Structure formats: structure tokens, C-alpha cells
């Protein structure tokens, strides 16, 4: 009889606050897995970053913080945070938002020293998929610039959208693990 020796698995909340070995990627994760999109989804150019300082406003450009498409579409990288209930740190999705040329210029103004002409929020369109929160319909964001070279924070504009609801109310630790599994990270094979 071995039923009484069955090991209990740690709760999802406990798992997300300690180190765990990932059955999918083999890495040891320190609590939360933070996901990051390399470029806006419409980007079809090189898979290497140029330096921010080499920004070109004509043609195509991609650095780790800035992107220009066809000299017409302007994107910045920020963080979409989703709180997890019972876990002190938020899940962070590094992703891209469009900005108008005017707000893109404001972002460049304050990029090094935080001296933005205004602190927003600026309006943009989320430019990456996030699991099943975001379908094919464009999703509007509020973009909040941050000081001290911290990446901008993004919030969904439509309070009825599942993404904005998740940001406002938080998600369960189990839901967070589903998100990680969607992106190839899971505690169990």
C-alpha cells in the first residue's frame, strides 16, 4: 500500500515564490517566468538588435527598446504586468506598443534622463499576442513612461477586455502556470 506515501505537490502559489526546475526548458526558474517578445509581431526584419543610439526614423529599425516600420509606424518596448493573487510579485510580459509619432518623440526626449514633456498616459496599440488574452482584434493600451530608465508600463484601455480585467483583479497562480505552459515552461512534463 503506497497511497499514504504519495508526495503532495506544492501549491501553485508556493511554486511561484521559490526555485523550480522546468520540465520543458530545463532551466531553474526563480519563481515567476517573465516572458518577453523580441520585436513587434509585424516586424519581418533581422533578428538582431541595433543600438538605441543608431535610431533611424526612415525605413526599418529595431533595437531592444525602439522599433520603426517603413518610417511610418513607431513602437516602443514596455512591460505589461499582471498581478497574481497570493504571490507578491507580478507576472511581467515584455512586449511592444505602437505610439503616434508625436508621443514617440516625447518618449525619445525623456529616454535617457526621464525629462518627458509629459508623463502620459499615451495611447497605443498592443503589438504582440499574449496567449489567449489577445485575439486578432487590435487592443488599445495606455502607455505610462517611467523614470530612471525603467521600461514603460502598459495597461489595457478597455475595462471589459479579459486583459484589463486580469490586470485589475489579478489572476490565480494556477492560471499563471497555464500561461507559462502556453509559452513552454512547466514544473511537470
Please give the Cα distance from 126 to 44 (Å, whole number).
17
Beta carbon of residue 91, minimum distance to Zn ion (angstroms, whole number): 14
Beta carbon of residue 184, minimum distance to Zn ion (angstroms, whole number): 7
State the residue number with the nearest CB to Zn ion. 22
**Cβ distance to Zn ion smaller for residue 25 or 150:** 25
Maximum pairwise Cα distance, the chain: 71
Let me know: does 154 contact 95? Beta carbons within 8 Å: yes
Query: Looking at 13, 22, 57, 181, which residue binds Zn ion (CB under 5 A)?
Result: 22
The answer to whether 25 contacts Zn ion (rule: CB under 5 A) is yes
Answer positive or negative: Cα dihedral of 19, 20, 26, 29: negative
Residue numbers 129-188 binding Zn ion by CB under 5 A: 185
Residues sharing a CB contact under 8 Å with residue 166, sequence separation 6 or more, in sequence order: 82, 133
Q: How many residues bind Zn ion (CB under 5 A)?
A: 3
The closest alpha carbon to 99, from 127, 133, 119, belongs to: 127
The answer to whether 73 contacts Zn ion (rule: CB under 5 A) is no
The answer to whether 23 contacts Zn ion (rule: CB under 5 A) is no
Can you give the binding site for Zn ion, defined by CB under 5 A?
A: 22, 25, 185
Amino acid at each position: 500500500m503506497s497511497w499514504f506515501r504519495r508526495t503532495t505537490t506544492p501549491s501553485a502559489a508556493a511554486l511561484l515564490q521559490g526555485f523550480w526546475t522546468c520540465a520543458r526548458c530545463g532551466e531553474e526558474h526563480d519563481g515567476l517566468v517573465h516572458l518577453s517578445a523580441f520585436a513587434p509581431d509585424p516586424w519581418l526584419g533581422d533578428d538582431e538588435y541595433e543600438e538605441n543610439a543608431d535610431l533611424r526614423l526612415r525605413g526599418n529599425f529595431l533595437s531592444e527598446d525602439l522599433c520603426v516600420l517603413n518610417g511610418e509606424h513607431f513602437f516602443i518596448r514596455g512591460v505589461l504586468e499582471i498581478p497574481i493573487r497570493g504571490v507578491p510579485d507580478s507576472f511581467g510580459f515584455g512586449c511592444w506598443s505602437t505610439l503616434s509619432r508625436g508621443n514617440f518623440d516625447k518618449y525619445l526626449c525623456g529616454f535617457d534622463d526621464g525629462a518627458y514633456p509629459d508623463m502620459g498616459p499615451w495611447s497605443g496599440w498592443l503589438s504582440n499576442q499574449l496567449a489567449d488574452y489577445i485575439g486578432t482584434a487590435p487592443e488599445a493600451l495606455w502607455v505610462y513612461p517611467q523614470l530612471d530608465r525603467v521600461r514603460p508600463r502598459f495597461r489595457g484601455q478597455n475595462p471589459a477586455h479579459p486583459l484589463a480585467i486580469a490586470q485589475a483583479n489579478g489572476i490565480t497562480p494556477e492560471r499563471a502556470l497555464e500561461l507559462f505552459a502556453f509559452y513552454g515552461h512547466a514544473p511537470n512534463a
